C-alpha cells in the first residue's frame, strides 16, 4: 500500500512539473492581457483545442465589475469550480489547475477585491458573502455551466454553500479543504472577530487590523506546516501586495464583520447536507489554527458519502500537500462525477 501511494504521488509530481514547464514555456496567447480578446464561444473553442495543461487567464464583466478567472481543460467535460479563501486568490490553485484539467474543465475566479479582479470602492460595491455568491453564480451562468463540483477553502466555503443553498441539484460534489460549516470549527482564532460581531464598533474593528499585516499573512501560510521552509514566500508576498492596495484593508474588515451571516446559515446548510447527501471529499490540514480539525469531523455527522483525510499541514494545505490532494481529487471525481 505504501508503495502504491508513493507511486501515485510521484506521478502527480511529474504531472505538476510537466504542467509548470508548459506554462513557463511562454505560450503567449494565454497571457493575461492577450487572452482577454477572446470571449464566448471562441473561448470554449480555444480551451477545447489547447493542451489540457494550459491555463488561460481571462476577465469577464459581471454587474459592471471586471472579474478575473483562470480556465483550463475541455469545456465539454464536467466542470470543477475552485473557490479561493482569504487573503489569497485563484493563484492558490496555480499548480492544481493543470492537473485537474487533464480530465476536467476547470474554472477559478477571483472575488471582487481579490487577485486581479476589480476592487470597487466600498460605497460602490456590496462586499458581502451573499453578493459574492451572486457574482459567482452569474459567472458560472455566463460560462454556460449547468452542473459543477466545487472546491471550498476558507471563504470559498460560505460562497459555495450559498450556491448550494440556492440550487442543490447543480452541485455534483464537494471538495472541502479547511472550509467551515459548523460552530465547532470556530475556536480561539475567532474570539476577536466574534467580539466585533457583537458590537460592530470601531475599537473591535481596529483590533482586527493585526490580521492584515505581512507577518499575519506569512503566519497563515507557515503555521502548522511541519516544514515551513518548503512554502514559497511568493505566496504571502503576492497576497500582501494586494492587501496593501489603498482601501483594501477596510474591504477585508467589512468581510470579517459580514462573516457572521454565514454562521447564521450553518443550520440551513447542515439540513441540506442531510437531505441531498452530495458526495464529499474532505482534505483538511489538521494543524490549522484558523479552521481547526474540530470543524472537519462534523461533516461526517450529516453526510453519508464522505471521504475523509486529515493531513499534517496547516491552513494552506494545498501548498504543502499539493500532489497528494490533486491525486485524491482526481480519484474522487473519477468515481463520483458522471
Report, as residue numbers or ranges, the catalytic residues. 315
3-class SS shares of the chain: helix, strand, coil, % to 5: 50, 15, 35
Find the distance separating the first CA and the last CA of the chain, reported in whole Å: 28
CA separation for the pair 25, 40 (Å, rounded): 26
Q: Give the ranges where the chain is alpha helix by DSSP (H).
A: 2-24, 32-35, 40-49, 96-100, 129-142, 156-166, 191-199, 202-207, 214-222, 234-243, 248-258, 260-263, 266-276, 299-302, 317-320, 322-336
CA separation for the pair 236, 253 (Å, rounded): 19
Give the residue carrying C-alpha cell 454553500: 161
Of 67, 257, 315, 272, nearest to 162 by C-alpha is 272
C-beta separation of 67 from 61 below 8 A: yes
Of 314, 328, 87, nearest to 222 by C-alpha is 314
Give the residue carrying C-alpha cell 447542515: 270
CA separation for the pair 119, 134 (Å, rounded): 16
CA separation for the pair 69, 157 (Å, rounded): 18
Amino acid at each position: 500500500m505504501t508503495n502504491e501511494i508513493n507511486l501515485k504521488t510521484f506521478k502527480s509530481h511529474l504531472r505538476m512539473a510537466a504542467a509548470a514547464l508548459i506554462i513557463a514555456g511562454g505560450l503567449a496567447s494565454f497571457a493575461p492581457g492577450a487572452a482577454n480578446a477572446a470571449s464566448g464561444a471562441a473561448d470554449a473553442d480555444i480551451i477545447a483545442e489547447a493542451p489540457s495543461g494550459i491555463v488561460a487567464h481571462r476577465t469577464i464583466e459581471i454587474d459592471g465589475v471586471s472579474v478575473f478567472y483562470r480556465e483550463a481543460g475541455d469545456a465539454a467535460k464536467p466542470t470543477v469550480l475552485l473557490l479561493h479563501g482569504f487573503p489569497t486568490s485563484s493563484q492558490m490553485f496555480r499548480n492544481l489547475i493543470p492537473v485537474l484539467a487533464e480530465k476536467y474543465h476547470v474554472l477559478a475566479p477571483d472575488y471582487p477585491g481579490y487577485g486581479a479582479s476589480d476592487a470597487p470602492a466600498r460605497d460602490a460595491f456590496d462586499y458581502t458573502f451573499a453578493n459574492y455568491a451572486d457574482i459567482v453564480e452569474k459567472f458560472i451562468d455566463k460560462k454556460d455551466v449547468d452542473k459543477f463540483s466545487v472546491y471550498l477553502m476558507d471563504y470559498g466555503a460560505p460562497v459555495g454553500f450559498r450556491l448550494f443553498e440556492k440550487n442543490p441539484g447543480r452541485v455534483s460534489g464537494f471538495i472541502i479543504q479547511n472550509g467551515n460549516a459548523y460552530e465547532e470549527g470556530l475556536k480561539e482564532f475567532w474570539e476577536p472577530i466574534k467580539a466585533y460581531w457583537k458590537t460592530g464598533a470601531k475599537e473591535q474593528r481596529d483590533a482586527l487590523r493585526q490580521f492584515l499585516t505581512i507577518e499575519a499573512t506569512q503566519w497563515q501560510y507557515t503555521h502548522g506546516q511541519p516544514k515551513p521552509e518548503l512554502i514559497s514566500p511568493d505566496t504571502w508576498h503576492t497576497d500582501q501586495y494586494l492587501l496593501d492596495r489603498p482601501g483594501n484593508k477596510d474591504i477585508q474588515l467589512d468581510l470579517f464583520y459580514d462573516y457572521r451571516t454565514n454562521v447564521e446559515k450553518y443550520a440551513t446548510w447542515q439540513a441540506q447536507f442531510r437531505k441531498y447527501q452530495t458526495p464529499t471529499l474532505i482534505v483538511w490540514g489538521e494543524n490549522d489554527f484558523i479552521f481547526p480539525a474540530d470543524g472537519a469531523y462534523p461533516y461526517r455527522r450529516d453526510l453519508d458519502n464522505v471521504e475523509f483525510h486529515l493531513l499534517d499541514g496547516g491552513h494552506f494545505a494545498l501548498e504543502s500537500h499539493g500532489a497528494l490532494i490533486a491525486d485524491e481529487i482526481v480519484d474522487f471525481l473519477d468515481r463520483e462525477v458522471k
